[in-house]
Amino acid sequence: MRHKVLTIFLIIASALPIAAAAQPADPLADAFARLARPEGEGWRIAESDILRAWSRSGSPAMDLLLQRGEAALDMGDIPSAIGHLTALTDHAPDFAAGFQARAAAYAAAGQFGPALADLRQALILEPRHFAALTQLGLMLEEMGDDGRALAAYRASLAIHPHQPEAIDGAARLERKRIGTDI
């Protein structure tokens, strides 16, 4: 019996380094490190690299649905945007960009409940999704939840300190908070 336990232990122990080696390194780790640097302009390239990586689902058909949904949103065709992006999230439920884009479409339609649910899912799938955090801050601010909006802006800026929308939103809410504390 002791021999069987020892054999099982050795098999498990020898498999651990293989499993650890099989885990892919975060391909965006370097880009996020460059994005967070306060100096220089390297963050612009890092931001572009991250956004480009996030826009790729791994499926040309799903990428096309994202492009069509974003194009419809840009043209103000909210129902079409929601339709394309719903098809995307249904067929690619692990693609954070689909949920973030659909959240923008729902918010544009004034449907904050579904928008918040989609932002939550985007952040579950990609906790570093600074665009989703900034979008969350904007929505919470519009809903009058200034405390949570400020927290969302700050979380976004901790990842990407160069975003004008998050910088402006945080500054606006901090001024408002200071103004009400006097």
78-92 pLDDT, tens digit per residue, is 999 999 999 999 999
Given a cut of 50, whether residue 51 has pLDDT beyond it is: yes
Q: Each residue of 156-166: pLDDT tens digit?
A: 999 999 999 99
Given a contact cutoff of 8 angstroms between Cβ atoms, the answer to whether 31 and 46 are in contact is yes
What is the model's pLDDT at position 156? 96
Whole-number Å distance between alpha carbons of 108 and 105: 5
- Res 6: pLDDT: 35
pLDDT at position 25 is 81
* 106-114 average pLDDT score: 96
Structural domains of the chain sorted by starting position, each given as residue range(s) with its CATH number in brackets: 45-127 (1.25.40.10), 128-182 (1.25.40)
Rg (the chain; Cα; Å): 21
Residue 160 CB-half CA count within 13 A: 24
